[in-house]
Amino acid sequence: MTAKTQSAISIINHILLCFNVITWVVAFIVIGLCLWLRFDPDVGEWVTILQIHSFYVGLYILIVSSVLICASGFLSCAATVAENQFLLTVNIAMQLLIFILGLAGAAVLMDNSTYKSSIHPVIKTVMLSLINQAPANDEATAALAIVQENMGCCGGSGVDDYINLRRAIPSQCRDTVTGNTFFYGCADEITWLLEQRSSWIMGLAVLLCAKKIVNAVLSGILIQLLQKEDRRQ
């Protein structure tokens, strides 16, 4: 093996090993943030009341992809240290699979947590249903109080929901200091909150996806260098 090739292989090995360590750290952070958001009692209460369980789907996908990232890191390290072409090829396939899974998880989470996302009309519909049932239904009344008081919002789209349904505007719809009704509806407030809490997770997930592509490319280059040396020998 020539000194130039040996130097190139050594550099790529060190880069891959460093990338794997960084990837492990980021993957554990993503898992931690996903679990925190999944088991947050306030978020869980809103998800149950407003029937937006689809919000959790993206979290589940990202948890699975992050666990696979941690597991594939051992394969990547073993393939890199052993300079085994077969293991490096398997590693490339794993990186691409995890890239697709991670990107899908980030996309699903974005589609179920951001402003004007797919859960936005669901929240509006459920809020209108609860308003229509209250005050005759105690459970509906309590659910409205929990969401509106904690979020500082009124109705699904705003106070007009109560006016259009000819319902009395509850005290939870009013600012305790000024007495004015809250301007924004709960669909807006809740999606803004979920978007804020999910943004870091989505950002880190996309970063991990980018690192998977870099890992696959470097592994491919390493295979080419090893094959080149095999032909020389």
For residue range 162-172, list pLDDT tens digits in order.
999 999 899 99
Q: What is the pLDDT confidence band of residue 127, given thresholds at 50, 70 and 90?
A: very high
**Which string of b and e fits 186-206 if b means at least 16 CB within 10 Å?**
bbbbbbbbbbeebeebbebbe
Number of domains in the chain: 1
pTM score of the predicted model? 0.89
pLDDT digits (tens, 9 = 90+) for 34-72: 999 999 998 999 999 999 999 999 999 999 999 999 888
Task: Report if residue 33 sits inside a domain.
Answer: yes
Q: Which domain holds residue 104?
A: 3-109+212-231
Task: Report if residue 72 sits inside a domain.
Answer: yes
Task: Kindly state the average pLDDT of the residues 175-179.
Answer: 86
Distance of CA 4 to the CA centre of its chain: 43
Task: Report if residue 27 sits inside a domain.
Answer: yes
Q: What is the pLDDT confidence band of residue 205, given thresholds at 50, 70 and 90?
A: very high
Beta bridge partners of 13: none
Yes or no: say if 111 and 118 are a contact pair by the CB < 8 Å rule. Answer: yes
Instruction: Give Cα separations from 111 to 96, 194, 195 (angstroms).
Output: 22, 11, 10
d(CA 166, CA 159): 11
Task: Report if residue 132 sits inside a domain.
Answer: no
Task: Report if residue 84 sits inside a domain.
Answer: yes
Task: Report if residue 155 sits inside a domain.
Answer: no
d(CA 198, CA 114): 8
Q: Which residues contact 214 (CB under 8 A, 6 or more apart)?
A: 19
Task: Report if residue 64 sits inside a domain.
Answer: yes
Give yes or no for residue 1 having a pLDDT over 60.
Answer: no
Task: Report if residue 168 sits inside a domain.
Answer: no
